[in-house]
Amino acid sequence: MAESTPFVVIAEFRVKPERLDAFLEVAADDAAHSVADEPGCWRFDVVVPDGGATVIFYEIYHDRAAFDAHLLTPHLQRFREAFPPLIEAELPVRFGLLQNPASG
C-alpha cells in the first residue's frame, strides 16, 4: 500500500492591529483543537511575522481527506464565526504537498 503525501495548508490573514490579541485567541482555540481532536492533523502553527498584524496558519494533514474532515469540525466553525470582525482581509488559502517530511 502506498503512503499518502502529507497535505499542507497555508492560510493568511491581515488582522486589524487593535484586534490582534482577540484574533490570536480564537486562532489558538482552532489550532489546539485541530491537533488534539483530529488524528489526521499533524501540525497547526499560528505564525505572526515580525513587524505587522499579519497572521499565517501553517497546517499539515495526513492527506487531503484529513483536511476535508477538518472543514467539518466544531472548532473550525467557532473560528469562522469569530474572525470576520477581527480582520482587514483574508488572503487566498494555498495548498501543497509536503516534499521533505522531517521525522519526529
The pLDDT tens digits along the chain (104 residues) read: 457 889 999 999 999 999 999 999 999 999 999 999 999 999 999 999 987 789 999 999 999 999 999 999 999 999 999 999 999 999 999 999 999 866 54
Asked, for residue 75, whether it belongs to a domain, the answer is yes
Q: Quote the number of domains for the chain.
A: 1
Sequence-distant (≥ 6) Cβ neighbours of residue 29 within 8 angstroms: 75, 78, 79
Structure-block grid coordinates of residue 63: 492527506
Asked, for residue 85, whether it belongs to a domain, the answer is yes
- What CATH number should be reported for the domain holding residue 11? 3.30.70.100
- The reported pTM is 0.91
Asked, for residue 11, whether it belongs to a domain, the answer is yes
Do 59 and 8 touch, CB atoms closer than 8 A? Answer: yes
Domain holding 48, by residue range, is: 7-90
Cα separation, 83 vs 63, whole angstroms = 26
Asked, for residue 2, whether it belongs to a domain, the answer is no
Asked, for residue 51, whether it belongs to a domain, the answer is yes
Cα separation, 30 vs 32, whole angstroms = 6
Asked, for residue 68, whether it belongs to a domain, the answer is yes
